[in-house]
Structures are given as C-alpha cells and as structure tokens.
Amino acid sequence: MIFSDFAKALGQINDRAFRRVLFLGLGLTVALLVAIYAGFLALIDVFAAGPITLPIIGEVTWIGNLLGWGGLGVIILMSIFLMIPAASAITSFFLEDVADAVEAKHFPHLPPAPKVAFMQALRDTMIFFGVLVGANLLAFIAYVMLPFLALPIFYALNGFLLGREYFTLAATRHEGRIGARQMRRKHLPEIWVAGVLMALPLTIPLMNLFIPILGAATFTHLYHRLARQTD
C-alpha cells in the first residue's frame, strides 16, 4: 500500500504546485549556502585584514588567501552535508501547497484544510531543520564507531525523522496536533517504513532534491488511507 501512495505522488510530479515548491526550495537552499560562505568571508576580513608576523618566518601576507580557499573547500563539504537537511527544511515551509494540490486532485470532496499561520510554519521549519542537522551530527559518532552499520543507521534515522515530519504535516491539517500525534503513535511502524523509503534516494544526487515534495505528497495519501481505516 505504501508503494501505491508513492506511485500516486510520483504521478503528480508535473503539477504546477509541485514545480513551484521545488524551485523555491532549491533557490532558497542555494541562497542559504551562499549566505553562509559570505559570512565566512566576512569573518576572514575581520581576523585576517592585515599581514601576520610569525617568529623566524617573518611577515606572512598569504594567510587571508589561504583561509579564503580553505573556506571555499569547507563550504563545498558543508553543501554536500547540508543540502539534504536544508532543502528538506526550507521546502517543508511550502509543503502545505503540495498537500493542497494532492487533496484537490484526489480528495476533492474534502473541505479546504485551514492554513497554518506564517509564524507557526516558520517555527516548525526551524525546529525541523535543527533536529535534522543535530541528529545527523550525532549520528556521525555512530558512523565512526560502527562503520559497517553506517548506511542502515543513516536510513533508519532519516526515515524516522522524515516519516514523523511529513505524516505530522499531513495529519495535522485535519486532525489537529493532538490527533496527529495519536495517529502517528498508532501507525508508527508503517510511517517509519514509508519514511525509510523516502530516505533511500537521499544518497542519490539530484533525485534527493525531489524527496521533500514526493514525501509530502506520499504522506498525504498515506494519512487519508489510514484515516479511512480508522473510520
């Protein structure tokens, strides 16, 4: 059944709302990475504005250039690591549009879901971003200690986080936060498996950029299917 939910989501990938969220998410993610790099360069200007004098060696004028190129390397590495949580978190800010498009096409009989307030959506997005980054940073310890389990840990962790976030997004629209939490606990195994299926393509370049959108659409279908079972 999870695969049918995903197939329905994939069949709607050309929807205008899907494309809009994709382009907005990508644009804001790139802007975030550029802003981080600009901030790093500003710090270099502050701490390496003039030549540095070292014992024996004397005056060193190339420290700023070294930090600049080193900073570029750091940002490239950070972009590899941050692209997934940044794209997921930023795109999640617009995922309600994806859920609206899914329900308009597949569940037209339903009344429009109430809109989430801007500040509430911003707060949820920042919390999701922080949890994603923090959890994956902590997971690096497990990757180092248990390298042979690195991939299973990565998929299990991010599958849990993605499943939790996207199901909550879909269910809260109709059940409220308390009802969404109760449904999530009741159907946790299926939600976790669906999240892992979303996490699998995260390691595939370019494809991982579509996962937030497909995840929101898939979990919208998943929520409605589980809600029908409960009725």
pLDDT digits (tens, 9 = 90+) for 162-212: 888 889 888 988 888 899 999 999 999 999 999 998 888 876 766 777 777
DSSP E strands: which ranges in 61-182? none
Separation between Cα atoms, residue 152 and residue 160, nearest integer Å: 12
- Give the lowest-confidence range in 52-61, 83-92, 200-209: 52-61
Pick the range with the lowest mean pLDDT from 36-45, 118-127, 202-211: 36-45
Question: Residue for token digits 């409220």?
Answer: 176
Least trusted range by pLDDT, from 19-33, 34-48, 86-100, 195-209:
34-48
Q: What is the pLDDT of residue 40?
A: 63
Nearest to 34 by CA among 88, 67, 72: 72
What does R_g of the chain's alpha carbons equal in angstroms? 21
- Cα three-residue angle 148-197-146, rounded to 5 degrees: 15
pLDDT attached to residue 183: 93
Q: What confidence score (pLDDT) does residue 224 get?
A: 92
Using one digit for the tens of pLDDT, what is the confidence trace for 4-31?
888 888 888 888 888 887 787 777 767 7
What is the structure's pLDDT at 194?
Answer: 92
pLDDT at 215 over 90: no
Banded model confidence at residue 60, pLDDT cuts 50, 70, 90: very low
Q: What percent of the chain lies above the pLDDT cut of 90?
A: 12
Query: What does the pLDDT read at residue 193?
Result: 93
Provide the percentage of residues in the chain whose pLDDT is more than 70: 71
Residue 102 contacts residue 48 (beta carbons within 8 Å) = no
Mean pLDDT of 80-87: 59
At 160, is the pLDDT very low, low, confident or very high (cuts 50, 70, 90)?
very high
Give the angle subtended at the CA of 128 by the CAs of 125 and 134, to the nearest 5°. Answer: 135
Q: Tell me the residue type at 195.
A: G
Task: Name the residue among 139, 123, 226, 212 with its Cα closest to residue 174.
Answer: 226
Q: Using pLDDT thresholds of 50, 70 and 90, give the confidence band for residue 144.
A: confident
In terms of Cα–Cα distance, which of 37, 39, 41 is closest to 64?
41
